[in-house]
Amino acid sequence: MKNRTVFPTLLIVLGAAMAAALLPAAPVSAAGSPPNGVAQALERSSLSASERAEVAERVREAARAGIPSEDLEIIIGRGLDRGVDAATLGSFLDTAVRTKQQGLPVRPVLDRVQQGLSKNVPPARIDAASKRLAGGLEKARPLVDGLLQGGMAPGSGDAREAALESVARAEEQSVPDSVLRATGEKVRAQGQTLTQFERTVRTLTFLNEAGMPSEAASRVVQRGVEHGFTERDFGKLERNVNEMVRQGRSMDEIVSAAEREIRESRGGAPESRGRDRTGGGREAGGRGGRGR
């Protein structure tokens, strides 16, 4: 008998309490204190009092430098859960802060740390990989800014950040500097934008990772640029190359097929897409409804 009133009343009280808990979840935290989630994670951890203070100070510093609190909460929370020590956590934050302070995009560095922690990569390795990326972003700057200063239009709001990241990743995959510069020149000669350059760099990196030698990849990509390849065209090129790799074709075959595909295209006009019959059936199913 009593359950009929007690139970719903309790539920309503619980609902009200949860609603009340929603209010303080607004993003602003008191200046000078680390984000809520960080404080709680430190509390739960097995760090000593001095280590906690050290981490909290680094977090405050990072927040002041403009690193978003959600990212800090994730890195510290996930890191402590996985037993990362205070010094390494500090190193993660340090890399991000320095990247941000140099006016370079920090999102790729934060993403790499968060990803490494999620994937249970050993912390020392995460540290090395994030520093490597930060260094790559720095090295990419002269090339990207050089293109912009030489008159290349950005093409979209985040073109510079995207290009810096893609060039950094390309160098990480050992795409030679000379190839990147030559591609930049080609894009500029065609009067194309930095966004389009960024797209070609991504394709270059993809082809390189797929095993294509740099000179061949460079040729293929530059030919695509000459033919006015769009984002979609490069995407299709990547898918076709991927399919051929999966089929076990030799790299020579793949390079010829790629070059042929570019030659036969009319700068990405719709008619040319229907002609593809070499993609092993995946392209045929790709139109309409798959949503990808």
Partner 1 sequence: MNTLPHPDEYEIIQRCLDGDGDAYAVLVDRYQAMAYTAASRMLGDADLANDIAQESFIAAYSGLRQFGFRSKFSSWLMSIVLNKCRDHFRAVRETVSVDSIAEVRATGRRDPEQEASARETTDAVQIALNRLPPAYREIIILKHIEELDYQEISDILGIGIPALKVRAYRGRELLRQALTGTGVER
Partner 2 sequence: MKSERDIVHRLLDGDLPAAEKEAIVKQIQDDPVLRKEFDDLADALGVVERQGRMRPPLAFTASVMSRLPRRTASLPARVRAFLFSSRVLRWNMATAMALVLLTVVSITMIKQMTNVNQEAARTTAAPGSVVETVRLTFSDPAAKRVAVAGDFNKWRTDTHLMTRENGTWTIELPLKPGVYTYMFIVDDGEWVTDPDAESYRDDGFGYQNAVMKVSI
Q: Which residues bind partner 1 (CB under 8 A)?
A: 44, 46, 81-85, 87-88, 119-120, 122-125
Least spacing, CB of residue 115 vs partner 2, in Å: 5
How many CB atoms lie under 10 A from the CB of residue 53? 13
CB of 18: closest distance to partner 1 in angstroms? 20
Q: Which is nearer to partner 2, 228 or 286 (CB)?
A: 286
Q: Which does 87 bind (CB under 5 to 8 A by kind): partner 1, partner 2, none?
A: partner 1
User: Pattern 168-207, binding to partner 2, x per CB under 8 A?
Assistant: -x--xx----------------------------x--xx-
- Please provide the distance, in angstroms rounded to a whole number, between the alpha carbons at the two ends of the chain: 55
The least distance separating partner 2 from the CB of residue 284, rounded to whole angstroms, comes to 15
Distance of CA 27 to the CA centre of its chain: 24
Q: Counting contacts by CB under 8 A, is residue 229 touching partner 2?
A: no
Q: Give Cβ neighbours of residue 42 (< 8 Å, ≥ 6 apart).
A: 34, 52, 55, 56, 76, 80
Instruction: By CB under 8 A, tell whether 87 contacts partner 2.
Output: no
79 binds partner 2 (CB under 8 A): no
CA distance 274 to 183: 28
- Residue with Cβ nearer partner 2 (130 or 222): 130
161 part of the interface to partner 2, by CB under 8 A: yes
Complete DSSP assignment for 233-248 = HHHHHHHHHHHHHHTT
For residue 146, state whether it binds partner 2 (rule: CB under 8 A): no
**Given the complex with partner 1, which of 29 and 88 has the nearer CB atom?**
88
**Residue 220 to residue 224: CA distance in whole angstroms:** 6
Interatomic CA distance for residues 52 and 144, integer angstroms: 40
Contact 177, 218 (CB under 8 A): no
Place of tokens 């993609």: 279
- Distances in whole angstroms, Cα of residue 288 to Cα of each of 240, 272, 283: 18, 17, 11
Binding mask 53-72 for partner 2 (x = CB under 8 A): -------------x-xxxx-
277 interacts with, out of partner 1, partner 2, none, CB within 5 to 8 A per kind: none
> How would DSSP label each residue in 170-228?
HHHTT--HHHHHHHHHHHHHTT--HHHHHHHHHHHHHHHHTT--HHHHHHHHHHHHHTT
Closest separation in Å from C-beta 189 to partner 2: 25
Determine contact, residues 204/179, Cβ cutoff 8 Å.
yes
Taking the complex as a whole, how short is the minimal distance between the CB of residue 186 and partner 2, in angstroms?
21
Tell me how many residues contact partner 2 (CB under 8 A). Answer: 57
Place of tokens 């100070």: 57
Per CB under 8 A, residues contacting partner 2 are 4-5, 7-9, 11-12, 14-15, 18-19, 21-22, 25, 27, 66, 68-71, 74, 107, 111-112, 114-121, 125-126, 129-130, 132-133, 158, 161-162, 169, 172-173, 202, 205-206, 209, 231-232, 235, 238-239, 242, 290-292
